[in-house]
């Protein structure tokens, strides 16, 4: 069931340079990171100590949004740019309500593939693939994905904290591919970094991502809203991550990312 294109060779894993998935892992308190990842992550923390909290808030948004989709009857999920395993993964949240839910995790870091294979070895409804957001048509046609995902039925696609790592052309191309493939009733779950909540600190924090191969593209609320063209944007629309349908207090929460959920009519 699992993609076998990954490798355990340390050259392929590129542990000599920071990777976004491992930076997030460090902020979330994980142990699957290396000195370059920790150095990049700590650079951001030195400038903005609340950045790790923003990563945790993003995970909390994932849990709220996935529950919304399951309650709406969605039983298929594709998490693109899933990152390393962390508490409250998509399959854990979905299976708590719907044990038959099917989940495909996708990331371009081979370490994610290696850990995913170990985590999901006995799980017949969930798999992990290596893939690139910039070539979604290839990914969505892959046999390993199509074993679990039926595009004639609603699917929820997660693009959480990932679109800011690609330029406008690749972001628009990915969203067109997703919208074209998905059936009515499907959902798009999206979060995106922004400087609008922290204009004075954002440029320095961006240097963390500029140490990676990806870099970062800053976008504001209007640009994030544009990504939902063709989707019914659910209330409260695009808002800062901790303010999107919060299930707890929002005082002293961060303003580093926007979030939204759209439904395909």
Per-residue pLDDT tens over the stretch 27-66: 999 888 999 999 999 999 999 999 999 999 999 999 999 9
pLDDT band at 4 (very low <50, low <70, confident <90, very high): very low
User: Length of the chain, please?
Assistant: 265
Cβ atoms of 218 and 206 within 8 Å: the answer is yes
- The pair of three-digit structure tokens given for residue 137, joined into one six-digit string: 């048509």
For the ranges 8-22, 112-126, 225-239, the lowest mean pLDDT is seen at 8-22
Domain membership flag for residue 38: no
pLDDT at 31: 87
pTM: 0.91
Q: If pLDDT is split at 50, 70 and 90, which confidence band does 10 have?
A: very low
Domain membership flag for residue 77: yes
Residue 240 lies in a domain: yes
Domain contains 104: yes
Domain count, the chain: 1
Q: Peptide bond preceding 236: is omega within 30 degrees of 0, i.e. cis?
A: yes
169-181 core/surface letters (b: 16 or more CB in 10 A; e: else):
ebbebbbebbbeb
9 pLDDT tier (thresholds 50, 70, 90): very low
pLDDT at 3 over 70: no
- Dump pLDDT digits (tens) for 253-262: 999 999 999 9
Residue 121: band (very low, low, confident or very high) from pLDDT cuts 50, 70, 90? low
Predicted confidence at residue 12, as pLDDT, reads: 57
Query: Does some domain include residue 259?
Result: yes
Handedness of CA 126, 107, 198, 221 (dihedral sign): negative
What range defines the domain where residue 109 resides? 51-198+219-263
- Give the CATH number of the domain where residue 247 resides: 3.40.50.150
Tens digit of each residue's pLDDT (9 = 90 or more) over 156-208: 999 999 999 999 999 999 999 999 999 999 999 999 999 999 999 998 888 88
Q: Does some domain include residue 19? A: no
């Amino acid at each position: 069931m699992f993609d076998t294109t990954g490798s355990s060779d340390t050259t392929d894993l590129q542990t000599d340079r920071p990777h976004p998935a491992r930076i997030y892992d460090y902020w979330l308190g994980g142990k699957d990171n290396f000195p370059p990842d920790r150095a990049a992550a700590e650079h951001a923390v030195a400038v903005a100590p609340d950045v790790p909290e923003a990563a945790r808030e993003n995970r909390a948004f994932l849990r709220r949004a996935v529950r919304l989709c399951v309650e709406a009857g969605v039983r298929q999920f594709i998490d693109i740019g899933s990152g390393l395993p962390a508490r409250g993964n998509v399959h854990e949240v979905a299976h708590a309500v719907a044990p038959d839910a099917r989940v495909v995790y996708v990331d371009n870091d081979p370490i994610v593939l290696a850990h995913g294979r170990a985590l999901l070895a006995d799980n017949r409804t969930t798999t992990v693939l290596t893939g690139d957001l910039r070539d979604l048509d290839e990914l969505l046609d892959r046999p390993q994905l199509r074993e679990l995902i039926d595009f004639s039925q609603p699917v929820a696609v997660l693009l959480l904290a990932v679109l800011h790592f690609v330029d406008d052309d690749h972001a628009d191309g990915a969203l067109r591919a997703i919208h074209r493939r998905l059936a009515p009733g499907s959902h798009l779950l999206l979060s995106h970094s922004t400087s609008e909540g922290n204009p004075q600190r954002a440029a320095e924090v961006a240097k963390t991502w500029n140490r990676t191969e990806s870099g970062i593209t800053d976008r504001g609320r209007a640009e994030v809203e544009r990504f939902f063209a063709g989707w019914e944007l659910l209330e409260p629309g695009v808002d800062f991550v901790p303010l999107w349908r919060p299930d707890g207090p929002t005082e002293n929460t961060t303003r580093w990312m926007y979030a939204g959920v759209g439904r395909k009519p």
